[in-house]
Structure 1
């Protein structure tokens, strides 16, 4: 979260995403905590995100019930 609020941090994240995309590597952002972080990552075309913004850590069984509806 700290990296997404400072100008230098944002530039580093953007550069890493750009490099990964140039190399056809799927990017995954971990630790997304709020809407602003999600919007920033979407704006630089990060592929996948996870973190407390979406859901707190949970056991596999709870994940399957909640997300997969099994």
Structure 2
């Protein structure tokens, strides 16, 4: 298998792992901690590929940013 072409030399702050620290949960009966996935109070998810997450309030431009990136990448 051929090596992937690196698009940048910058080291991005990619998300590598998500884990739950039970001592930091104030209310296990509240959302989202009451969901079945957290029932055993142990949760850890490790990513095998780089991932970037874009978050923000409604109307702050998340979708607009992704549409612009898509257009520039040729997915218009």
- Bigger share in helix: 1
**Greater relative contact order structure (CA < 8 Å, 6+ sep):** 2
Q: Give TM-score scaled by structure 2 length.
A: 0.22
Q: Give TM-score scaled by structure 1 length.
A: 0.23
